[in-house]
Amino acid sequence: MNILTASGIATEIKQHFEESLRQSVNEDEFIKESCTPLIQGGKRLRPMLFLLCAKYGKNFSPEKIMTLAVALELIHTASLVHDDILDNSKKRRGIETANSKYGAQVAVLIGDYLFAKAFQLVAKGGYGDEVKLILSNLVQNLCRGEIMQDLSLFHVPTISEYYTRINLKTAIFLSACCKLGGIVAGLKREEIDGLSFYGNSLGLAFQIVDDLLDFFGDEKVTGKSLGSDLKSGVITLPVIRTLKVSRDADILRQMITRRIMDRDEIHSAIKIVRVSDAFNYCRLRATAHIESARINLPQIKNSVKLALEQAADFVVMRNA
């Protein structure tokens, strides 16, 4: 599901966004052919949050802010292209990854291209220094999160280490989208801070649900293979919880220590996680972050507030 469908954004703006995004990778034959599938099928959560928060302001001008919405989606896509190389993923959103199609060398460069394209749009859009600083900080944090993850593969993190990682790799991005929306809308500092906090809490919930879907999702719906985090050594909240409460914790821990898991072992590991209370535990945590996101929404423009509340519900209820 594309979240823009369910949001409080008008159809013409959604179409304008999709068209501008398509145009952004239209420059030459190879870029068009390789990047068009990569920008399709996403949930559009980041640009949607940005556009919704931008709507909080009095002078909402889609023309003025569309390039930043597109740049946010391009940065996200670039990070996924690189992430698929790091995770050696073959499929994303149900289609072959750039890594699998063109090999790691070309895929790195496709990611770099998308990333550079995003910053070209920001430069052309004439956004101020604060916007540029937020964007560069968010990319640095994405990299920190990924480095942290890659340096601790097959290591069981503490809850606090897990939170640091998901904050860096996901929550800061969603927070930045909301903050940028508030900035271009010309909101007051405390309102921007409220939106930024909302985005951060939403991001924590989003990543917890993402990690849950790796064990409880439907491959046909998520477009990703079940158990792929565990297979690549990324130990997430469902596993941390299972290791704490399951009767089969030792079996699971041994699989992680041995590092290499074949198909049967991944199946057994998924089963162990599924019969533990990890699902309810993670859902409860995600719901608590969503509640805290709602509470911190600034008290302005009811229609936008409603849409942001719906976005929060979407994050916990989603199945892909």
Query: Rule CB under 6 A: which residues touch ligand FPP?
Result: 75, 78-80, 82-83, 86-87, 111, 115, 139, 142-143, 146, 169-170, 210, 224
Sole window of 76-84, 92-100, 164-172, 202-210 interacting with Mg ion (rule: CB under 5 A): 76-84
Instruction: Give the nearest distance from C-beta 219 to ligand FPP in angstroms.
Output: 12
Q: Which is nearer to Mg ion, 120 or 152 (CB)?
A: 152
Q: Which is nearer to ligand FPP, 72 or 183 (CB)?
A: 72
Count of chain residues binding Mg ion (CB under 5 A): 2
Instruction: Give the nearest distance from C-beta 84 to Mg ion in angstroms.
Output: 6
| 83 near Mg ion (CB under 5 A) | yes
Instruction: Give the nearest distance from C-beta 79 to ligand FPP in angstroms.
Output: 4
Q: Is 129 exposed, middle or buried (0-12, 13-18, 19+ CB in 10 A)?
A: exposed
Instruction: Give the nearest distance from C-beta 169 to ligand FPP in angstroms.
Output: 4
Q: Which is nearer to Mg ion, 87 or 265 (CB)?
A: 87
Q: Could you identify the residue written with the tokens 């989208």?
A: 177
Residue 233 near residue 154 (C-beta atoms within 8 A): yes
Q: Which is nearer to ligand FPP, 73 or 83 (CB)?
A: 83
**In 3D, which of 232, 282, 224 has the Cα closest to residue 256?**
232
Q: How far is it, in rounded angstroms, from Cα 218 to Cα 215?
A: 9
Name which position in 54, 55, 76, 87 contacts Mg ion (CB under 5 A): 87
DSSP state of 298: -
Instruction: Give the nearest distance from C-beta 32 to ligand FPP in angstroms.
Output: 20
Q: How far is it, in rounded angstroms, from Cα 9 to Cα 16?
A: 11
Q: Is 93 exposed, middle or buried (0-12, 13-18, 19+ CB in 10 A)?
A: middle
Q: How far is CA 68 from CA 119, 168, 294, in A?
A: 9, 21, 25
Q: How far is it, in rounded angstroms, from Cα 136 to Cα 80?
A: 17
